[in-house]
Amino acid sequence: MKRREFVVGSTAALALSGASPLVSAQGAFQEGKHFVRLSTAVPVSAPAGKIEVIEFFWYGCPHCNAFEPTLEAWIRKLPADVAFKRMHVGFRPNFEPQQRFYATLEALGLVEQIHRKVFYAIHQQGQKLDKPEALIEFAVQNGADRAKFTEMYNSFGMQSKVRQSKLLSEAYKIDGVPALGIHGRYYTSPSLAGGDNTPELEGQVRALALTDQLIARSRKGV
């Protein structure tokens, strides 16, 4: 998927008055340029006392695929008070099979076992995994129980997850992936944090450094 430009609305220009500056090795991170503060807070589902961080992604996106190794290394070092989760976006109706697939992996505790393998199969092996039958077969080939996976994939609960993903993406105003939503208050991405003409890996590192700082702000309620 070609990297899509994030649309920064007028709310992004609001200053974070009274807050400490967000800085990187390249200088200050700027609101409206490197990250967006939402005008309306998004409800979070993390337990009380936890800071929620959401990665919005699409299995077919090459930038999401490239982001995974850097993101996984960052996840392993997260403090105990951060609750991280992924959300497969549904920009188009034909994204729904993969939305259901990821939600099913999550429900059955198979994310660690299968999630990265999907990216590898699509982007390195050229497999076409965009239909329910192909996705279910892929899960079975990688250790899932066919009956349990199929039942969960087709369940009403997965339909609800698809709706939830759509609503959450809209609430965060996500229009490109990968993107990171921080505790219902902010979002950023490698393309935003890195800016134009920044190498992709550098943009990834900057986005996660910025996310760390926005997590710290969220702890303070700013």
Contacts of 42 (CB under 8 A, 6+ apart): 168, 171, 172, 181, 184, 185
- Identity of the amino acid at 167: L
The answer to whether 58 and 64 have CB atoms below 8 angstroms apart is yes
| Average pLDDT of span 203-213 | 97
Buried-exposed string 45-56: b where 16+ CB fall within 10 A, e elsewhere: ebeeeebbbbbb
- Enter the pTM of the model: 0.87
Q: Which helix (H) or strand (E) holds 149?
A: helix 146-153
3-state secondary structure of 24: strand
What pLDDT, on the 0 to 100 scale, is given for residue 177? 98
75: its two tokens: 């996840």
| Average pLDDT of span 86-109 | 97
Query: Is domain 35-220 given the CATH code 2.60.120.650 in the classification?
Result: no
105: its two tokens: 């992996």
pLDDT digits (tens, 9 = 90+) for 37-88: 999 999 999 999 999 999 999 999 999 999 999 999 999 999 999 999 999 9
Distance separating alpha carbons of residues 78 and 152, to the nearest angstrom: 30
pLDDT digits (tens, 9 = 90+) for 11-44: 232 233 334 456 555 568 999 999 999 999 999 9
What pLDDT, on the 0 to 100 scale, is given for residue 113? 98
What pLDDT, on the 0 to 100 scale, is given for residue 28? 84
What pLDDT, on the 0 to 100 scale, is given for residue 123? 98
